[in-house]
Amino acid sequence: MKTNFDVIILGAGSAGCVLANRLSANPDIEICLIEAGSRDTDPRIHVPIGFAFFGDKTNLSWNYETEPQRGFDKVPVESPATAMVDSAGGVHKVHTDVTEHRRGFQPRGKTLGGSSSINAMLYVRGHRWDYDHWSALGNFGWSYNEVLPYFNKAEHNEVINNEFHGQNGPLNVCEIRHSNKPTDAFVKAGAKVYSYNDDFNGAEQEGIGYYQTTQKDGKRCSAAKAYLVPAMDRPNLTVMTDTQVNKVLFDNDTAVGVQCTTKEQKAVNLTSNKEVILSAGAFGSPQILLRSGVGPKAEIAKHGIDHLVELAGVGKNLQDHIDYLSVHQYNSLELIGLSLRSIFYKYPVELIKYLFKKTGLFTSTIAEAGGFIKTRDELEAPDVQLHFAPAMVVDHGRTQLWGHGLSCHVCLLRPKSTGTVTLKSADPEDDPLIDPQFLSHPEDIKTMVQGYKKMMAILNTEPLQKYTKDNCKRPVDINNDRDIEQAIRESADTVYHPVGTCKMGSDSEAVVDERLRVHKTRRLRVVDASIMPTLIGGNTNAATIMIAEKAADMILQDTAT
């Protein structure tokens, strides 16, 4: 087994796959890509609608839970039975009623392609303002005009050919190959209330329209499919799956390798001649840094880990999109759902359409249309995002409902609440402690309430109204802000975009510089969504791929000197 490489990449998610491809294109650089999950062979990854059937037990996801969120309502929880002795000496088991604030669910990809192999495949870049804001914070080279070439470098857009899109990149972007009347009705209704937008990634983001998707020929185009598969036969690229990284190895302040455990539970040390790159995501990268002794001393030392480098911001600045779903039941085969008619009539027909033409329901992203709107006219950029789904989605799809219906998400794009991720223990097998502190800032719930009203203005407009009127699974009084807030606290949760825990910058909580090098260390970088100093206004997968494209150029420049 080869144990010495020039560059070791920790994590084969959206960023890691890009890096593996771009860096191994230089035959003089020996690359090792390490992934904790298995290979991406599960057919549910590649058939687009399959992601809706992963559930919370799949080994393709880390399936994390957050700490109890004080911004959420309290719910009953299971408690262990306690023994009580009566006056006659008899022992009885007694169950006590226990409640705690609701925990959030945090699925993250655990396979080649990472979360790009289990997400809804929406291609969204965020708003121009987001990247100009990064630059204004002192992160030179990260303005919109400077990152746009990397978005375009990554993309092959089947539909749009202009200065905002690429045509020759590895990542295929296309229209959804599933048309249905309810989604069309949402777009028509939304265009009446707001404006129609045929390209959320073009000159303007604001408006209502259809999402583009990372698919090719009716199949998911994950980062693994786009970047890793074409590079797998290169002799200078080694890919290790089912391998858990314990920590980065240091010689003083210089990263010289990694310690990991293979599928066979064999401890292995790998050495690097040039760089170690963390691409394990907003939860994984800070965990590895902390286990390596890099971060706040108090959080590291309490787990018996030797503290090497003081970096106060490791695991801080966690930001995520909080999201509320309005769910409506409507008996129509036009909508995705479970019924005798759909099982015995619709789905067999749709399966045939997919097998022979790669079209129809099995290509659906579930969240097929949506939009970006402002809750206040004076804002520079939209502050809420909508995702429309022609299906009833409850509790991240973990609760299956009988019947048909639709859902609409309202998502807060730039929350002011920030949280943390830290270690539960020094054991790499232990889940981290994730605390997004959702709705801890009072402005967030106010904006969510206004966003809900904006969403309902669309849902209550024809031709969509016939599906939604009087059909809401959790009726809400649109004229009562307290009732809207209560509904949000009952069931709002992430829409799967955690970022910021190894943020880029030069302030006291920054972890990496503008070239993504970890402060106070040498030959160590972080390249993934954790480096985002602020959360972008949109889905984060395309931006993570852009970050890796830009980082690859910087790494090639730096390792050549």
Residue 56 CA to residue 49 CA, distance in Å, equals 16
* Amino acid letter for position 178: H
Local structure of residue 531 (DSSP, 8 states): G
- In which element (H, E) is residue 388 found? strand 384-389
Is 86 exposed, middle or buried (CB count within 10 Å of its CB: 0-12, 13-18, 19+)? exposed
* Residue owning tokens 């303002």: 129
CA separation, residue 238 to residues 12, 44, 345, 554 (Å): 12, 26, 47, 22
Local structure of residue 504 (DSSP, 8 states): B
Please pick, among 156, 178, 321, 497, the residue that the annotation labels catalytic: 497
Question: 10 pairs with which residues across the strands?
Answer: 34, 278
Local structure of residue 419 (DSSP, 8 states): B
| Residue-wise DSSP of 269-305 | EEEEEEEEEE-SHHHHHHHHHHHTTEE-HHHHHTTTP
* Residue owning tokens 């479970």: 338
Tokens for 443, please give them.
């402005």
| Residue-wise DSSP of 189-244 | HHHHHS-B-S-TTSS---EEEEPEE-EETTEE--HIIIIIGGGTT-TTEEEE-S-E
The answer to whether the CB of 293 falls within 8 A of the CB of 415 is no
Alpha helices in 384-508 (DSSP H): 442-459, 465-468, 481-491
Classify the phi-psi angles of 558: left when phi > 0, otherwise alpha if psi is within -120 to 50, otherwise beta: alpha
Residue 96 CA to residue 83 CA, distance in Å, equals 11
Each residue of 431-461: b (16+ CB within 10 Å) or e?
Answer: bbbbbbbbbbeeebbebbbbbbebbbbbbeb
- Strands 171-175 vs 212-213: parallel, antiparallel or unpaired: antiparallel
| Residue-wise DSSP of 349-381 | HHHHHHHHHS-SGGG--S--EEEEE-SSTT-SS
Active site residue 497: yes
CA separation, residue 363 to residues 51, 60, 178 (Å): 11, 20, 6
The residues that are catalytic are 497
